[in-house]
Amino acid sequence: DAGITQSPRHKVTETGTPVTLRCHQTENHRYMYWYRQDPGHGLRLIHYSYGVKDTDKGEVSDGYSVSRSKTEDFLLTLESATSSQTSVYFCAISPGTSTVGELFFGEGSRLTVL
Amino acid sequence: GDSVTQMEGPVTLSEEAFLTINCTYTATGYPSLFWYVQYPGEGLQLLLKATKADDKGSNKGFEATYRKETTSFHLEKGSVQVSDSAVYFCALRDNTNAGKSTFGDGTTLTVKP
C-alpha cells in the first residue's frame, strides 16, 4: 500500500467553474504524477512533480495547473472547467526517489463537466 | 517522443485459452517496461515488469520478455481464468526524464466460463 488518497472521488460541476483535485501521500515520495484516462487513449500525463515547488508539464497540460507546496500533497486545478475535461483523473507516485520502478496509483477521481 | 502501441481490443476468450496481448514501443533511451492491470472502478496496479533487455517479468501465470531487438514486450498466459477479465496496459518508463511513464491505450480482456 503506497498510501495514496485522492479527493474528491466523484465530482459533477458546470462549465466555467474552477475545480481542484487533491492527491495526498503518506510517505515521503519525491515523484508525483497526474494522468487522465479516457476511452481509447489510455493514460495521458497532465503534469508531474519532482519535488516541492518543482513541477513540469506533460503531454496534455493545456487548461490545467498544479501546485506542490509540501511533499505529501499534489493539487491539480482546472481554472475554468470545460466539457472536454470530463474524465477520470489518476494520481500516481514513484516510491522513494526511483525513476526506474513501477508507479503506484490512487483510486481515481471521476469528474463530469456539464 | 516515447510511444507504446498495444494490440487493440476487446479480446474475448474462453476459460483455459491461451492469451497473447502484443505490445511494441519506441523510446530514445533504455526504458523499463511494465504491464499494469485495471479492474472495474479501480486504479491501475502492477502486473509485471522488466527493467533491462532480455529480462522476463512474471506474476500470477502471466509472463512478458523485454525484447530490445524487436522493441516488444508481449504479454502471455497459458490458461486464462474468468478472474483475469480486466483492462491491461503496457507502459514504459523513461528513467532519464523524471521517470515519466507512457502508456498504451489498453486492451480489454473478457474471459467467459
pLDDT band at A101 (very low <50, low <70, confident <90, very high): confident
pLDDT digits (tens, 9 = 90+) for A40-97: 888 999 999 999 999 999 999 999 999 999 999 999 999 999 999 999 999 999 887 7
Rounded Cα gap, residues A75 and A109, in angstroms: 12
Counting one residue from chain A and one from chain B, the pairs whose CB atoms sit within 8 A come to 66
Contact call for A58 and B100, based on CB within 8 A: yes
Instruction: Indicate the range of B15-19, B37-41, B92-96, B102-106 predicted with least confidence.
Output: B92-96
> What is the arithmetic mean of pLDDT over B100-111?
94
- Closest CB to B49 among A31, A44, A102: A102
Nearest CA in chain A to B30: A100
pLDDT digits (tens, 9 = 90+) for B68-81: 999 999 999 999 99
Q: Which residues in chain A are contacts of B51 at CB distance < 8 A?
A: 100-101
Q: Which residues in chain B are contacts of A56 at CB distance < 8 A?
A: 98
A34 pLDDT more than 70: yes
